[in-house]
Amino acid sequence: MDGHRCGWCGTDPLYVAYHDTEWGRPETDSRALWEKLILDGFQAGLSWITILRRREGFRAAFHGFDPAVIAEWGEADVQRLLADPRIIRHRGKIEATILNARAYAAIPDFSAYLWDHVGGSPLVNAPAGAADIPAFTPLSERISKDLRKRGFRFCGPTITYAFLQATGLVNDHILGCPARAACLLAGERIQNGKRIG
């Protein structure tokens, strides 16, 4: 990919591939959105590359991020995960994932719920550089507050904003980034939170 990428991905090939093919692409699948929210929660206090390098381990340990399975877990499962070197072994984040699975089950269409917050189409910003991208916004504060009211954990305004960016509900690719155009095009195919065409 030619051009000036968003600087946060650096030169690590895994990070660059994530930036070029995933980050900022509008996601409408409820399960994929839920997985990303959980992984963003595990990122709290860490770098995203740490999570990205362990993503397949997370998927295996968390049964493909099946919320129906995870919602039934208890202390034995927490202990199993605390011993699993493939993931970030943080009791609070593991317990939050179980609570989040239960909260997810109470929302009939998680994708529609999220996309309703942005009017059904991606919000497009025009940052010239990293300094123009906020850590959180009134939108992420509002969504975070509502998620927490519904029982979700590890979804503060900063985590929520990172999630919105990563899943393409907000396009924060910098001006001139080659991935920006692909995300804009993909965003044009989203209406009312659903893929068209």
Task: Kindly state the percentage of the chain with pLDDT values over 70.
Answer: 98
64, part of any domain: yes
Q: How crowded is the C-beta side of 114, counted as CA atoms within 13 Å?
A: 28
> According to the model, what pLDDT value does residue 193 have?
78
2, part of any domain: no
Whether the CB-CB separation of 118 and 165 falls below 8 Å is answered with no
Which of 29, 19, 6 is CA-nearest to residue 130? 6
Q: Mean per-residue pLDDT for 19-39?
A: 97
71, part of any domain: yes
Which pLDDT band, with edges at 50, 70 and 90, does 24 fall under? very high
1, part of any domain: no
Which pLDDT band, with edges at 50, 70 and 90, does 71 fall under? very high
Q: Mean per-residue pLDDT for 158-165?
A: 98
43, part of any domain: yes
Q: Which of 63-67, 71-75, 102-106, 193-197 bottoms out in mean pLDDT, i.e. has the lowest?
A: 193-197
Range of the domain at 183: 7-195
Q: Which residues of 46-67 are buried (b: 16+ CB within 10 A; e: fewer)?
A: eebbebbebbeebeebbeebeb
- Binding site for Zn(2+), by residue number, is 6, 19, 173, 177
d(CA 32, CA 180): 21
53, part of any domain: yes
Residue 34 clears pLDDT 50, i.e. is over it: yes
80, part of any domain: yes
- Binding site, by residue number, is 6, 19, 173, 177
Looking at residue 157, which CATH number applies to its domain?
Answer: 1.10.340.30
> According to the model, what pLDDT value does residue 1 have?
47
Residue 194 clears pLDDT 70, i.e. is over it: yes
Domain count, the chain: 1
> According to the model, what pLDDT value does residue 197 have?
60
> According to the model, what pLDDT value does residue 84 have?
99
171, part of any domain: yes
